[in-house]
Amino acid sequence: MEFKLLDLIVFITYGLVIIGIGLWVSRGKGKTSEDYFLASKSLPWWAIGASLIAANISAEQFIGMSGSGFALGLAIASYEWMAALTLIIVGKFFLPIFIEKKLYTIPEFIEVRYSKNLKTILAVFWICLFIFVNLTSVLYLGATALDTIIGDGDGSIFMASIIGLALFAAAYSLYGGLSAVAWTDVVQVVLLVAGGLITTIIALGHVSDDGNIFSGMVKVYNEVPEKFSMILDKGEIITPNGKDAWWDLPGLAVLVGGMWVANLYYWGFNQYIIQRTLAAKSLKESQKGIVLAGFLKLLIPLITVIPGIIAFVMNTDAGGNIVTGVTDASFFGGNGQVINDNAAPWLIKEFVPTGLKGLVLAALAAAIVSSLASMLNSTATIFTMDIYKPFFHKEGGSEQRLVNVGRMTAAVSLVIAIIIAPQLKNLGQVFQYIQEYTGVVSPGILAVFMLGLFWRKTTNKAAIWGVLISIPIALYFKVGPNGWIDSPFFITWPFMHQMMATWILTMLIMIGISYAETGGKIQEKSIKLTKGLFKTGRVFNIGSIIIIIILALLYALFW
């Protein structure tokens, strides 16, 4: 099924509606930095919850997670389901402190708790991370998907897709700031969930013998029951390319191990995620938005992981093998490797009918563009508020200048990302590139934040050493076992175990340095925690309990 005129009309209509909403909600705003960077601190809970998910779900979920579903099965859904529990922890224990300190940015907390120098170092790091990793990878994956679905997958519209997605995100986010980003996200998240469900439903109808989606789900489960295992043992699932899936998702580590490092860092201390919670009308409003996002995270695997498993069933022989003549040719790379990430684009291209295909493509674009817009706004916020304002914005400088600097920063960041994104073709697995790059630095940063929040004796020197020393520790685990260094001191561990070990060792070193420096004295800049600070409302408490019960049932069912 090719991309027809009706699909194009649906897609263009979606684009015009989003740009129109973005420009309309930001009319008359943007006069102050609070208007532009924190949406005038006026966001209601439902906008916060929707915006959190829209910022989070991008091409790496729609494409990368479906590909992981194709290769690994439902176990990859732990990234989504454990995120729901992580969100509850963030809402309960992190947000009250951030909002009480009236923060604009996450690096600003580092200055409040530690020092201006460390804040500047981390601000520069996050700007580089957003531009060179996040923005570029989202543009690359999004353009690759569009090239597969609309084009022939030969790269003919790849560069045009990169530029088109970038201009789409810039069209409303550069002018309107966080207001435009958050309010358009409300529409975007409805569209991306609806588009994802359409793909899943149509795929289940095609895989079943009678066209019934429920019998289709039963058939998928009966044919590949191993793909519905959540806690993997060694050798339980071997991917189409011959890798033991345990190395990506090592058993109980998804519940009590290294996944917590990735999730706490991402959901608690990631500027483009946490920024919309800082823009809430109140703490309780922000916490209710967190609960909504938690419920949506429980739903996401249905639209990202299940389609990958369905595509696997439809492209394997009776023995569950990927073979020429049964498997679609698009799943084979030039070097004979199986292209797992082609699962979602293949389903959309082959089975979604004209008209709906335009809607599903709009959903994919919504996921990509909403993430791009969020990253652009957060990059601009950190540069403007943490670098430009303290060093270059003299007393008496206008608020409008800060807004203009933010817009210019976002524009420059986008141009750099457009130039670099095509180069990611040479990396092979882009999703792995994202995880491994952030996984080297996230344990150290998480250690700095966790001890800064909850251990009053942590010193500034310990925090600086923690950030610096965590990287060689992470590299110790990463490169040594892979043959770079032949030594009995190196143990081959899965990536999640490496992150957990790096985090624990970094915190122990920071504790040791703090005691050596001050003898265990409480620091003047430490956070004074009170019992009332973590008191939460009824809606948050009830919602959190329901999410925890659902999670327990899901893991009990698919253990």
For every residue of 428-453, DSSP letters joined together read: S-HHHHHHHHHHHHHHHHHHHHHHHH
Q: Is the pLDDT of residue 540 over 90?
A: yes
Q: Over the stretch 215-226, which tens digit does the pLDDT of each residue have?
A: 999 999 999 898
Phi-psi region of 231 (alpha: psi -120 to 50; beta: other; left: phi over 0): beta
Q: Which of 62-71, 91-100, 147-156 has the highest mean pLDDT?
A: 91-100
User: What letter does residue 39 receive in the DSSP assignment?
Assistant: G
The three-class DSSP label of residue 458 is coil
- What integer pLDDT is reported at residue 428 of this predicted model? 47
Q: Which sign, positive or negative, has the C-alpha torsion 195, 200, 203, 205? A: negative
Tokens 């102050």 belong to 32
Name the DSSP class of 479.
Answer: H
- CA–CA dist 174, 414 (Å, integer): 10
Contact by Cβ (8 Å): 496, 258:
yes
Tokens for 550, please give them. Answer: 């659902």
Amino acid 433: pLDDT: 58
Burial readout 183-206 (b: 16 or more C-beta within 10 A, e: otherwise):
bbbbbbbebbbebbebbbebbbee
Can you give the pLDDT at residue 332? Answer: 81
Each residue's pLDDT tens digit, 404-449: 999 999 999 999 999 998 887 765 455 555 666 677 888 999 999 9
Q: What is the model's pLDDT at position 91?
A: 94
Q: How far apart are CA 243 and CA 467, in angstroms?
A: 33
Q: State how far the Cα of 107 lies from the Cα of 96, in Å rounded to an integer.
A: 17
- The set of residues, in sequence order, having a beta carbon less than 8 Å from that of 8 and lying 6+ positions away, is 358
* Range scoring the smallest mean pLDDT among 211-215, 305-309, 334-338: 334-338
Distance of CA 107 to the CA centre of its chain: 19
Distance, CA of 45 to CA of 481 (rounded, Å) = 46
Let me know if 316 is exposed, middle or buried by CB neighbors in 10 A (0-12, 13-18, 19+). middle
Short-list 557, 556, 554, CA closest to 299: 554
Q: What is the pLDDT of residues 76-116, one digit of tens each?
A: 999 899 999 999 999 999 999 999 888 888 889 999 999 99
Q: Determine whether 244 is exposed, middle or buried from the number of CB atoms within 10 Å of its CB (0-12, 13-18, 19+).
A: middle
Residue among 235, 521, 272, 462 at smallest CA distance from 376: 272
Q: Are 76 and 254 in contact (CB under 8 A)?
A: no
User: What pLDDT does 459 receive?
Assistant: 95
**pLDDT for 262 beyond 60:** yes
For residue 508, count CB atoms less than 10 angstroms from its CB and return exposed for 0-12, middle for 13-18, buried for 19 or more.
exposed
Smallest Cα–Cα separation from 198: which of 75, 76, 302, 337? 302
Give the dihedral sign, CA 489/493/495/496: negative
